[in-house]
Amino acid sequence: MSRLVAGVLVCVVLLATAGHAAGATVDAAQAPADPTTQLADDLFEERVGEPTLDVFLTDRTVAPGTETTVELTIVNTGSIEEGSSLDTETATARGVSIAVDDEDAPVDVTTGDTGVGSIPPGEAVSVPVTVTAPASNDDESGELDVDVEYTYTEVESAADDETESESFDVPITVQEGSRFEIEDADTDAQVGTDGTVEVDIENVGEADADNVRVTARSPTGGVTVGAGNGGGPATGPNGGDQNSANGPNSSVDAVDSPSGTPGEAGRSTAESGAFLGELEDDDSEDVQFDTRIDSDLSVESYLLELTVVYEDEDGILRESPPLATAVEPTGAQTFEIENVTSTLAVGESGTITADLENTGPEDVETPVVRAEPASERIDIGESRVALDDLDDDESTEVTFEADVSGQADPGPRQVTFTVEYGANGDRLESDPAVRQVDVAADRSAFSIGAEDSAIPTGTTETVRLNVTNNRAETVSDLNVFLYPDGPLSVDTDEAFIAELDPGETETIAVEVSVDETATQRAYPLEVDIRYDTETDEDLISEVYQLPVTATEPPPDDGLLPSFLSLIGLTMIAIGITVAVRWHR
């Protein structure tokens, strides 16, 4: 792959030189675009990577006269062959296997060939290797010849699987003295925050170590160790500022590569040191380093490398082999926006309501939810709503007031929700969550229905008007105006309702008369309402027409005329009787 890229670049240079010579007399402002520039741009548009492996022992010193297991670590840092970022698929070493030869080492290797599997970029695999160190080889050093074979995807004109073999000379020493191991490593840092990594270092050798200094670094991209790159001071066993490998009173020592240029792709070259003092055999001490973990960390754990510099019992300055361990930070904070509802309608004010759940893994402080509509015709007046602290797995409701333009169209609209929150003293921001809210069509502010609206002609009846608030807000000071038409008349043309909540209905009674000459049919009783909104807007509703039906007048009873006739006949009979008797 490297030969292909080099060849292409040579062609690019030759084309550029020829183009320059041929067009030297052409004015630069009139010259066409350089085709070689476009060729180079096209060449590097795709992302291609390759595995870049390194092999080392986490502890390269073994005690004489023992059989022990050493951890051979294979780390794939990956390298960028084309493009501006690392491609995981082409940079993954697949089917990794190793073979260890002890010909040049002071130990005998009893472990055969070992299959490892796949190693994606940014990850490391530890392989246990059993070695025997003869007692006669004390204070001898040598190298293990480690052959690594793996397959990866190479992209030239097409993607092909290539098998690669690499050999690594890994130093190993047989020596009785101070040896160090990482007993434990833990961090309180969460992805996207600053925190502290605490490492328990034990002297597992048979000799005391004096003036112990520990240097920490991480080759994992996105992880920074030390105050010089976003963290704070490292601390030793007494909790004080211990940041230098030169002593407890020295300043922070955050070191870049000697050339001043970045290290390998994906690697952090910053270091932080801490002074521990004396570390006797079988004794252990805790050392802490402040760390920064970027929010885009893509692996579940990161690699932490420690180097111990100490003076042995003879006052000779020695350095331990690199001690490596995996540190697992707390995962990134996540939230869930659920049950998003709205009372929005075209031309009206309404609300957007959602449930916010802290899905962990940590409690958060003073969260603030921000809502941003995609449509310019939805105006959220206060787009940031502050909430109380939210524990892990706790939920709360958040509501936003919004106005919808009368020019808006009904239908679903996108709203982006983002959570700002506090964690470990930092103010962080969640990934945006896009949800849909419904905007209803333009609707009447009120619904008005009439009860008992059938009135016999020539009579007066009580008609009950049911007024319902259809708006998403409370309205007040409702003046209901009546406009009777034709043969209809009312005793009063105005009624009053103090307040109506959303969806609430109030009934008003109106005395309506129908003229006795009216034809038996429905007549419109027109009504409109003047009212105030929650924002003190004085509005007048549309005109509503309520049907009032003139019905047949009630029939005569018939009893009174019959009674009067009976009285009349009785009086006549009495008169005749009196007249006859008087005549006699």
> Over the stretch 372-383, which tens digit does the pLDDT of each residue have?
999 999 999 899
Same domain, 87 and 212: no
Q: Select from 302, 327, 352 the last residue of a domain.
A: 327
- DSSP letter string, 167-223: EEEEEEEE--S--EEEEEEEE--BTTSEEEEEEEEEE-SSS-EEEEEEEEE--STTE
Predicted local distance difference test score (pLDDT) of residue 489: 92
* DSSP E strand boundaries for 227-281: 272-279
As given in the structure block, the two tokens for residue 116 are 């490892």
Predicted local distance difference test score (pLDDT) of residue 459: 93
> What's the CA angle centered on 380, arms 365 and 364, to 5 degrees?
10
Same domain, 298 and 167: no
Average pLDDT (500-528) is 93
Predicted local distance difference test score (pLDDT) of residue 18: 41
Same domain, 188 and 148: no
C-beta separation of 495 from 542 below 8 A: no
Same domain, 361 and 464: no
How would residue 194 be classed by pLDDT, with cut points 50, 70 and 90?
confident
3-state secondary structure (DSSP) of residue 12? helix
Predicted local distance difference test score (pLDDT) of residue 568: 62
Predicted local distance difference test score (pLDDT) of residue 233: 45
Contacts of 373 (CB under 8 A, 6+ apart): 379, 380, 402, 413, 414, 415, 416
Looking at 31-40, 504-513, 526-535, which range is the least confident one? Answer: 31-40
More confident residue, 361 or 506: 506
More confident residue, 234 or 293: 293
- The amino acid sitting at 217 is R
Same domain, 477 and 399: no
Q: Indicate if the pLDDT at residue 23 is higher than 70.
A: no
Q: Indicate if the pLDDT at residue 225 is higher than 80.
A: yes
% of residues, the chain, pLDDT over 90: 47
3-state secondary structure (DSSP) of residue 36? helix
Predicted local distance difference test score (pLDDT) of residue 581: 58
Contacts of 523 (CB under 8 A, 6+ apart): 485, 486, 487, 488, 514, 547, 548, 549, 550
> Over the stretch 461-493, which tens digit does the pLDDT of each residue have?
999 999 999 888 899 999 999 999 889 999 999
More confident residue, 217 or 239: 217
Same domain, 403 and 278: no
Predicted local distance difference test score (pLDDT) of residue 69: 87
Same domain, 347 and 293: no
Q: Indicate if the pLDDT at residue 41 is higher than 50.
A: no
Number of domains into which the chain is organized = 4
Strands 494-500, 454-456: pairing is unpaired
Strands 454-456, 544-551: pairing is parallel
% of residues, the chain, pLDDT over 70: 80
Same domain, 347 and 299: no
C-beta separation of 227 from 255 below 8 A: no
Residue 10 belongs to a domain: no
Tokens 């025997």 sit at which residue? Answer: 132
Rounded CA separation 345/374 (Å) = 16
Looking at 151-165, 204-218, 482-496, 563-577, which range is the least confident one? Answer: 563-577
Predicted local distance difference test score (pLDDT) of residue 578: 56
Q: What is the DSSP letter of 297?
A: -
Q: Indicate if the pLDDT at residue 75 is higher than 60.
A: yes
Predicted local distance difference test score (pLDDT) of residue 369: 96
> Over the stretch 110-139, which tens digit does the pLDDT of each residue have?
988 999 999 999 899 999 999 999 988 888
Number of other residues whose CB lies within 10 A of the CB of residue 213: 26
Predicted local distance difference test score (pLDDT) of residue 188: 84
Same domain, 357 and 393: yes
Predicted local distance difference test score (pLDDT) of residue 554: 77
How would residue 2 be classed by pLDDT, with cut points 50, 70 and 90?
very low
Q: Identify whether 262 is preceded by a cis peptide bond (ω within 30 of 0).
A: no
Q: Indicate if the pLDDT at residue 8 is higher than 60.
A: no
Q: Indicate if the pLDDT at residue 253 is higher than 60.
A: no
Predicted local distance difference test score (pLDDT) of residue 42: 45
Residue 41 belongs to a domain: no
How would residue 387 be classed by pLDDT, with cut points 50, 70 and 90?
very high
Residue 196 has φ and ψ, to the nearest 5°, of -125, 135
Domain of 230? 180-327
Predicted local distance difference test score (pLDDT) of residue 193: 80
Q: Select from 411, 439, 467 the last residue of a domain.
A: 439
Residue 156 belongs to a domain: yes
> Over the stretch 321-344, which tens digit does the pLDDT of each residue have?
789 999 988 888 889 999 999 989
Q: What's the mean pLDDT when you consider all of the chain?
A: 81
Same domain, 148 and 285: no
Looking at 24-28, 97-101, 190-194, which range is the least confident one? Answer: 24-28
Predicted local distance difference test score (pLDDT) of residue 130: 93
Predicted local distance difference test score (pLDDT) of residue 557: 56
Same domain, 154 and 57: yes
Q: Indicate if the pLDDT at residue 418 is higher than 50.
A: yes
Predicted local distance difference test score (pLDDT) of residue 87: 83
3-state secondary structure (DSSP) of residue 7? helix
Same domain, 188 and 230: yes
> Over the stretch 396-411, which tens digit does the pLDDT of each residue have?
999 999 988 888 899 9
Q: Indicate if the pLDDT at residue 144 is higher than 80.
A: yes
How would residue 215 be classed by pLDDT, with cut points 50, 70 and 90?
very high
Predicted local distance difference test score (pLDDT) of residue 347: 83
CA 265, chain centre distance (Å): 27
Residue 533 belongs to a domain: yes
Average pLDDT (552-572) is 62
Q: Indicate if the pLDDT at residue 65 is higher than 80.
A: no
> Over the stretch 265-290, which tens digit does the pLDDT of each residue have?
344 456 788 899 999 988 999 999 98
Domain CATH code at residue 67: 2.60.40.10
Q: Indicate if the pLDDT at residue 81 is higher than 60.
A: yes
How would residue 175 be classed by pLDDT, with cut points 50, 70 and 90?
confident
Residue 313 belongs to a domain: yes
Predicted local distance difference test score (pLDDT) of residue 336: 94
Helical axes 35-43 vs 2-22, angle rounded to 10°: 170
Q: Indicate if the pLDDT at residue 149 is higher than 90.
A: yes
Q: Indicate if the pLDDT at residue 394 is higher than 50.
A: yes
Average pLDDT (183-198) is 86
